Amino acid sequence: MDNKQTAQVAWGNAIVLDPSGPDVKFNSVSYDLFPTLQTALLQNWDPATKFPTTGLDSLTKMSANIPGREIYRIVKVEAKN
């Protein structure tokens, strides 16, 4: 992202605190942020992009099951600067 090799503007991972229990099929959420739906769906990575490996094992350990995929539109963001 810093090298402008993708249209992606941010990403993150969060542990789901609730709901919880044996019937819940996930315990973490990973998210990628793009400026438009088109760039999210038609993502082209620069062939020179190198993905970091440090810390990815921690994300794998947090995952309880096969990941699902949802697409959300952020309609409002409030941030205290």
Helix (H) / strand (E) element for 33: namely: strand 28-33
Task: Say if residues 11 and 51 touch (Cβ distance below 8 Å).
Answer: no
The pLDDT assigned to 59 comes to: 67
Who wins on pLDDT, 5 or 79? Answer: 5
What does the alpha-carbon distance between residue 1 and residue 39 come to, in Å, rounded to a whole number?
13
Task: Say if residues 60 and 27 touch (Cβ distance below 8 Å).
Answer: no
Q: pLDDT tier at 69 (50, 70, 90 boundaries)?
A: low
Q: pLDDT tier at 5 (50, 70, 90 boundaries)?
A: confident
Structural tokens at position 2:
């810093």
The pLDDT assigned to 64 comes to: 59
Residues 6+ apart with CB under 8 A from 3: 46, 49
Q: What is the pTM of this model?
A: 0.50
Structural tokens at position 77:
């963001």
